[in-house]
Structure 1
């Protein structure tokens, strides 16, 4: 099993859309895929499950935080028995009552599972932040906290015999994302060709290297053998350019300007090579067209854009876009698995 975190600390680049469609396409190509939602905004969970399922999943008495002092709030929750989220899994650590609670993934379709997210996961941020520094001294409780995501994912992946884990994380450099990325074997970066995305890479690269170095050189040597811990590899797989609403064969001048700068910024900031050539696109996996016209149809149909049919409203020119979308994601999934084999 190998894990891939989809991450960019610049929001709005299509990270969750990419995770959702990749999960479905990789499953279609024969892999057993576990999608994990570690973004407290839980957009991937909301994309996969319908409103009735979300109401059951998020609705009941929060098992992450006691509501004993707020009886009127307790009445708002009605979660179905047996359904849990990542937030429920870390509840014992947060409350100081024990280690992680195992969560069984939701079966989306044959060969594809979801480890659901929850907005309540944001309450775990402070606990993770404090645990990071305490882990420097080898404190077992702190290390169990920092490695919680790794062990939750490992348990869930083994439960469904997943071959590939896709982890969706939020667009920031906070403690939740640090723990999520340390738990990841590799990192795939969706990005836009604009100033904000490039500035995000400049911030992100040194931070990821610092996290990796601190984990591997300071914390790992002090981890007790009884605690399962990740290697903190976070190996860069490459980047996927999410195109704005312009034609691929006619990018606007500003788009071309930022597009040309991506290879050098990625090479120097993320890979740490000060002499990286501006023409070296080794880590550029692909550019995905903007399918803005298909997104609302896919959302209403509760399916990937490349599965849309005429009965879903994909008429006329939409059908050509659906076919192109399928071809692009099929090629991307193939390219990703080839890079993972090398990794």
Structure 2
């Protein structure tokens, strides 16, 4: 099992749409067993992939196992949850741990526990590993994807310290470029702080953690350009000039502000751009309304005329992105 976080501390970059469709492609077309964790208190993934009745149960009635269910045992001093319960999605093909708006309150709890990490307090260190323990219960899956909010808060810190890899969706704007520096600095500092606190534990307490803790070895595997506007040049789509100027700056910024501080080196010849997705306009809300992947939309969902070619084109993009993601994962260990 490999765990992958989809993260950018800049919002509005199409992260949830990319994650759900890529996970759906792996499930539907590649027959992979995929689990998605909606760790964003806004619950956009949950509302996207679950039918309205199911979403209502989790979001408004707080009925059923959700990501928020991981917190109460820790707050009560009981440790981690003993087992997890997943929900199947009808059209996307993957399993999901739904989000819950009450999970936002966990920011304060996890932030307070992080203070104890710095003083090598065992409880604080254990609480900060809630997602590491969670992932140890997911070995029957091929891939576990995390959807996350755009913050650099305590929830996202716990997710990133637990995962094997992370992928960054990028929109073609200057704010996405500026956000990259925050990602590299923050993750490097978090990893250093956690390992410093962990190394001061006695061997007995380390042994309890080592059953599920992999050493904060998360690596950056690449980015996906999204939401730029294209024009036809020589019969081929190309980003319009305003977007193209920003897109040209991304590779250098990624290498210097993300890859070097997190992975330790920029691997020569490795392309960290694993995909490029233009704006698909009306197909995205069609997908959200029908709770289906974009590549499985039909006339019954509102697809007409030129939409059919776009639906087919989008499936090809998901294949390209998944192939490139796996190729990078083989190189970046």
Relative to the length of structure 2, the TM-score reads 0.88
> Which runs of structure 2 are paired with 1:243-322 in the superposition (5 Å)?
243-247=227-231, 249-272=237-260, 282-322=271-311
Per the TM alignment, residue 281 of structure 1 is displaced from its structure 2 partner at its CA by: 7.0
CA contact (8 A) 1:90 1:99 kept: no
Number of residue equivalences: 316
1:171–1:185 distance in 2 versus 1, CA, 3 Å: same
1:126 to 108, 126, 140: 108
Per the TM alignment, residue 305 of structure 1 is displaced from its structure 2 partner at its CA by: 0.7
Q: Deviations over 1:261-311 (max 9, x none)?
A: 1111111100227xx99x977211111121122012112222011101122
Give yes or no for the alignment of 1:147 onto 2:129.
Answer: yes
Q: Deviations over 1:108-154 (max 9, x none)?
A: 25962111111111111111111112023332221221011221233
Give yes or no for the alignment of 1:219 onto 2:198.
Answer: yes
Give yes or no for the alignment of 1:89 onto 2:70.
Answer: yes
Q: How far apart, CA to CA, are the structure 2 residues paired with 1:253 and 1:48? A: 35
Q: Deviations over 1:53-106 (max 9, x none)?
A: 02222343x5xxxxxxxxxxxxxxxx3xxx210101211223x25222232111
1:334–1:280 distance in 2 versus 1, CA, 3 Å: closer
Partner of 1:117: 99
Q: How far apart, CA to CA, are the structure 1 residues paired with 2:231 and 2:279? A: 8
Partner of 2:9: 9
CA contact (8 A) 1:36 1:116 kept: yes
Partner of 1:137: 119
Gaps of at least 5 residues in structure 2 are none
CA contact (8 A) 1:212 1:234 kept: no
Per the TM alignment, residue 241 of structure 1 is displaced from its structure 2 partner at its CA by: 0.5
Per the TM alignment, residue 206 of structure 1 is displaced from its structure 2 partner at its CA by: 1.3
Per the TM alignment, residue 221 of structure 1 is displaced from its structure 2 partner at its CA by: 5.3
SS at match of 2:314: helix
SS at match of 1:226: helix
1:215–1:247 distance in 2 versus 1, CA, 3 Å: farther
Q: How far apart, CA to CA, are the structure 2 residues paired with 1:187 and 1:245? A: 26
CA contact (8 A) 1:84 1:116 kept: yes
Q: How far apart, CA to CA, are the structure 1 residues paired with 2:272 and 2:165? A: 13
Per the TM alignment, residue 220 of structure 1 is displaced from its structure 2 partner at its CA by: 4.8
Q: How far apart, CA to CA, are the structure 2 residues paired with 1:220 and 1:239? A: 32
SS at match of 1:272: helix
* Alignment root-mean-square deviation, CA: 2.2
Query: Segments of 4+ in structure 1 off by > 6 A?
Result: none
Partner of 1:99: 79
Per the TM alignment, residue 322 of structure 1 is displaced from its structure 2 partner at its CA by: 0.4
> Which runs of structure 2 are paired with 1:49-60 in the superposition (5 Å)?
49-60=50-61
Partner of 2:157: 178
Q: How far apart, CA to CA, are the structure 1 residues paired with 2:219 and 2:200? A: 20
Q: How far apart, CA to CA, are the structure 1 residues paired with 2:122 and 2:185? A: 27
Partner of 2:218: 234
SS at match of 2:120: coil
Gaps of at least 5 residues in structure 1 are 63-78
Q: How far apart, CA to CA, are the structure 2 residues paired with 1:317 and 1:22? A: 22
1:247–1:153 distance in 2 versus 1, CA, 3 Å: farther
> Which runs of structure 2 are paired with 1:18-33 in the superposition (5 Å)?
18-27=18-27, 28-33=29-34
